[in-house]
Structure 1
């Protein structure tokens, strides 16, 4: 059978959204957004995840129907779709395509017969109600307030004698207002259309709503942390998931992740059971691949953004946009040391000499290549021929030669002992984004701004073969065997290639932002991809 890959696990969730994490009524599963992917995860088994894919941009809101039969999700972007999923069958049931710029809120009615969706402001400030029996629009209105942040259904509207009618009631809230709505579902009419709810002197930006059980009172919470009509408002902890016990309100952390785009991923040279990542939030994290928990983490709050990482023994060495190199303990996450002024304009690439691990090579924004003694933290060599930012560094097995790739379109081969260039490869158009040296130490594979996967022989100045890509690839990794290549980039699709012949074997869908970095595990059984969506995806490779 043909080699392929399959998504095994996702780490990370969109914790900056107001409604991104839902507890399923079955008492076992949670539903949450991770970039453009909706994930159903077993609270007791970290290996049991189901991925619902149908969005092509970041998911902005999620809701689960009262019985758990349906899940609804809305996204941002040009295709601002609302998708309804069948929970039991884990399949797409309906796709609603009436919103323009993005979806701010989705909410199911108490009887699961209707779904409410509200667009974002600016761009689409409309409200739609959908029939769950057909997936068709039941009603719409442009009377919704700007910057709607939340919505809640309140059962059936009551008449003046407090008796239920056949009309539905719901409330929306946002910037400085709460509105009450009444909908006649038979003809889509509005007996009450967005009537402002009087909150007296409480002029606030409201973020959450709840009706009392008797539906006589509406509770609202605001951005100030104040409670209106005794609603308890809790804070959002970005990147973290907690389970709370109702009896004593005790919390147990069930998941943790980075809190922003992830810039790089790396494995230790001889271990496939853990890997490290870094993020724009300034954090470095070491993950256990057996159960996906965090082994350790470290953070630098005032160092800019980490752009590249590499293992050296039990330490993680990282390059930063402030021009420093920082070393973290791989067991505790503690920062051990740093080197200032490594590169003016920022460190853009870094690699530790593989055999003795005594030296590291760094590349900078201005095209400089520098060699450093890790123990003394002194520079021992400075190589300057590139004219633009260094994007990749690879070291030969003899530890005496290195390859460097740059935005200046060149891949240069260096004799480190004699501090001179010995070979040069030049891409015809656009810079080099990433490359990998094959185990035979003669062949190179690269991706760049010209949107091609290029195969090189160091003895030849031009590519042996070039394959057109659907988008610009930003990251590339090659298996330890040299048989497989994996690429990822702005198309948001991970692609697995056979080196011999350059055949594309599989596409991996899941990311909803550019893929920034990819890495094969040393045993070639798994691939880890990280991206702008703040997600880490672990893929199984079947050969």
Structure 2
């Protein structure tokens, strides 16, 4: 009895240039572990596997015509495999290099394949894709070479093509141009010069459409522009933070345009009339640092992969984003189906998440965390149609709702050394098995909780947007409007009653108040020194207050109510000249709020002009 691989989710996100769009426009090619996956962009169930490696695939490339694939792996058995895309079978196995392969690239006409070994192997080989023979080899330069690309044919001083093939590789602080003489079987490296004092570490390369310029991404987030005529860096352009992870040239009718992805999660479009005039055109930010980047054959989209395991299809014109697939990037510690359910399963990964996957479309329905990433991660999980239970490395047990992903409960210090298994009972590294009684609410209670949550969400939405209820139920909206009208009418009546009450109180006070601001005469009882002193202070204060309003000049009263203060001020000055009183309310509102306001205005106009 044998087990066959049916479907794989994710890719080797820790390696760059590991996921590509195929030139046919409808397929993609990526590496998961030691397997190459060829899948359909629109149908998640359509996958074909190319198996031949015995370790992680570190680099993967697709020929320009789409007929061949090439892959390299890490480890002592670091072979380079050549594949047929049409038959999905292995064409050749090149075993000359050991320890690991860092970069692969087909020539512009797919006639040759160049392979750069790692820092231990320190060799670069060129293979003939037709005869499957070694065409040339040389010592690696620079060391290591983490990126290699094809650059057409070598050109002479008059920029005419010669018979030599051209490649470019980078690594560390150096960039090398490789010239391949396939007739003599010679491969020579030429260093790129730098006219500036800046020192950069280069990680990725891309040629312009006409192969006259080479752009190199650096770990400091800028792009170096190199003129191929003299192989010298012309300038640097700052693009992103966290380093430039990858870049591709998008063909345009005139000028130059590149899409650049960075270690800070940004996707940036830089464009200009020439490579020396490149400027940032637009930028978007994704969920995490980006590594792989591939251009569609029609240049309308690019496929970008983040280190968090998410693949995006991005339109190169306006950078609109469409998620393609997602996976937990950490190591997997457990996989388990929900009890009695064959199309949903759980995974526990090293990034601290327990994910619930739907096998119908291979998407993650829920992602539940067990704590801060790096501190603890889940080791085992189990679940039913209602709940998910998982044990973590810090000895805690967690339980989540299977529908909403809400944390229902957790048990601290449930085990010593971490919970290593969960199946209604829990086992731990301390060789103990503990049985826990689950008193989590059942399906009926959970439905009730779900309904209450939906009611709360609807109530919250209605508060944010009152029109929602009116649109959903016109009668309810009418009743709500009637209630508002009644409340407004009651409020106006209360305000009018308060205004009448206030006006009556003011009139009563005015009758009691003696002529304003006259010095008070000592009464018969005020014969003690203390009483006389208090009387003198009061008279001095009255004179001081009177001076404030007797000074010549204009006075503006803002926000008068019933104009009683304005009338009092006119009485103090003996005239209304230079006094301007204003009110916030309109004529009708003023009469409704202050019943004595018309009388006050009439007295001011008749007595003081």
Q: TM-score range by the shorter chain?
A: 0.5 to 0.7
Q: Residue 97 of structure 1 corresponds to which residue in structure 2? A: 95
Q: Residue 45 of structure 2 contacts residue 361 of structure 2 at CA under 8 Å; is this kept in 1? A: yes
Cα distance change of structure 1 residues 21 and 208 upon mapping to structure 2, 3 Å threshold = same
Q: CA deviation at 1:103?
A: 0.4
Which of these residues, 158, 171, 193, is aligned with residue 174 of structure 1?
171
Report 1:340-355 matches (<5 A).
340-352=412-424
The 3 A distance-change label for structure 1 pair 103 and 284 is same
Residue 382 of structure 2 is matched in structure 1 by 310
Q: Is the 8 A contact 1:297 1:332 kept in 2?
A: no
State which of 196, 211, 214 in structure 2 corresponds to 1:200.
196
Contact 1:179 1:197 (C-alpha < 8 Å) held by counterparts: no
Kindly indicate whether the alpha-carbon contact (under 8 Å) linking 1:180 and 1:197 is maintained by their aligned counterparts in 2.
no
Structure 1 window deviating more from structure 2 (284-293 vs 324-333): it is: 324-333
Q: Look up the match of 2:429.
A: 365
Cα deviations by residue, 1:150-183 (Å, 9 ceiling, x for unpaired): 1111100001121100001111001111111111
Q: Which residue of 1 aligns with 2:124?
A: 127
Q: Secondary structure at the match of 1:327?
A: strand
Map 1:288-303; keep pairs closer than 5 Å.
288-302=358-372, 303=375
Pair 199,73 (structure 1): closer, same or farther in 2 beyond 3 Å: farther
Greater radius of gyration (CA): 2
Asked if structure 2 preserves the Cα contact closer than 8 Å seen for 1:80 and 1:99, the reply is yes
For the pair 1:268 / 2:329, whether they are aligned, the reply is no
- Offset at residue 232 of structure 1 (A): 4.6
1:274, CA displacement in angstroms? 0.9
Contact (CA 8 Å) 1:284, 1:333: kept in 2 or not? Answer: no
Whether the 8 Å CA contact 2:352–2:376 is kept in 1: the answer is yes
1: CA distance, partners of 2:259 / 2:91: 35
The whole-number CA distance in structure 2 between the counterparts of 1:251 and 1:234 is 14
- Picking from 150, 154, 158, the partner of 1:157 is 154
| Alignment CA distance shift 1:142-1:281 (3 Å) | same
2: CA distance between counterparts of 1:333 and 1:104? 41
Secondary structure class of the residue paired with 1:11: coil
1:221·1:232 contact (CA, 8 Å) conserved in 2? no
Taking a change above 3 Å as real, the CA distance of residues 376 and 169 of structure 1, as seen in their structure-2 partners, is closer
Structure 1 residue 77 displacement after superposition: 0.9
CA 300–200 in structure 1, closer or farther in 2 if over 3 Å, else same: farther
Aligned length: 365
**Equivalent-residue separation in structure 1 for 2:407 and 2:56 (angstroms):** 33
Structure 1 match to 2:142: 145
Return the alpha-carbon distance in structure 2 between the equivalents of residues 310 and 233 of structure 1: 42
- Higher fraction of strand: 1
Q: Partners in 2 of 1:84 and 1:193 — Cα distance?
A: 25
How large is the RMSD of aligned CA atoms in angstroms? 1.8
CA distance in 1, matches of 2:209, 2:7: 39
Asked if 2 retains the 8 angstrom alpha-carbon contact of 1:274 and 1:287, the reply is yes
Shift of 1:118: 0.5
Q: Which has the higher contact order (CA 8 A, sep 6+)?
A: 1
1:336 to partner: Cα distance = 3.0
Contact 2:379 / 2:419 at 8 angstroms: preserved in 1? yes
Following superposition, the deviation at residue 228 of structure 1 comes to 2.0
TM-score w.r.t. the length of structure 1 is 0.65
Instruction: Report Cα offsets for 1:27-62 as digits up to 9, x if no partner.
Output: 000000000000001001111111000101100000
Structure 1 residue 112 corresponds to structure 2 residue 110: yes
CA distance in 2, matches of 1:291, 1:158: 50
Say which structure is richer in helix: 2
Q: Is the CA contact (8 Å cut-off) linking 1:227 and 1:233 kept in structure 2?
A: no
Contact in 1 for aligned 2:259/2:316 (Cα 8 Å): no
- Residue 496 (structure 2) aligns with: none
Distance in 2 (CA, whole Å) between partners of 1:199 and 1:368 is 67
Per-residue deviation at 1:209? 0.5
CA apart distance, 1:368:
2.1
Structure 1 residues 282 and 226: alpha-carbon distance in aligned structure 2, compared to 1, 3 A threshold: same
Show structure 1 runs of 5+ residues with no match.
353-360, 378-543
Residue 166 of structure 2: SS of its match in structure 1? strand
Indicate yes or no: 2:183 matched with 1:186: yes
What does residue range 80-479 of structure 1 map to in structure 2 within 5 Å?
Answer: 80-121=78-119, 123-190=120-187, 192-198=188-194, 200-229=196-225, 232-235=259-262, 236=290, 237-238=306-307, 239-302=309-372, 303-352=375-424, 361-375=425-439
Cα deviation for residue 376 of structure 1 reads: 8.1
Separation in structure 2 between the aligned mates of residue 263 and residue 58 of structure 1, nearest angstrom = 18
Displacement of 1:350 in angstroms is 1.9
Which whole-Å CA distance do the structure 2 matches of 1:98 and 1:56 have between them? Answer: 16
Pairwise CA distance, 1:373: 2.4
Looking at structure 2, the residues matched to 104 and 152 of structure 1 have their Cα atoms a distance apart, in angstroms, of 12
- Does the 8 Å CA contact 2:174/2:192 hold for their aligned counterparts? yes
Does the aligned pair in 2 maintain the 1:61–1:104 contact within 8 Å? yes
1:287 Cα deviation from its structure 2 partner: 1.1
Instruction: Identify if the C-alpha distance between structure 1 residues 74 and 34 changes in structure 2 by more than 3 Å, giving closer, same or farther.
Output: same
What SS does structure 2 have at the residue aligned with 1:317?
strand
Distance 1:120 1:364, change over 3 A: same
TM-score normalised according to structure 2 size: 0.58
1:124-164 CA-partner distances (Å, limit 9, x unpaired): 12111111111111111114112221111110000112110
Compute the displacement of 1:313 (Å).
4.3
In 2, Cα distance between equivalents of 1:224 and 1:196: 19
Structure 2 SS opposite 1:310: strand
Give the 5 Å matches for 1:13-52: 13-52=11-50
Q: How far apart in 2 are the matches of 1:70 and 1:197?
A: 34
Q: After superposition, what is the alpha-carbon deviation per residue over 1:271-295, rounded to whole angstroms, capped at 9, x for unaligned?
A: 1121111111111111111221222
Structure 1 residue aligned with 2:59: 61
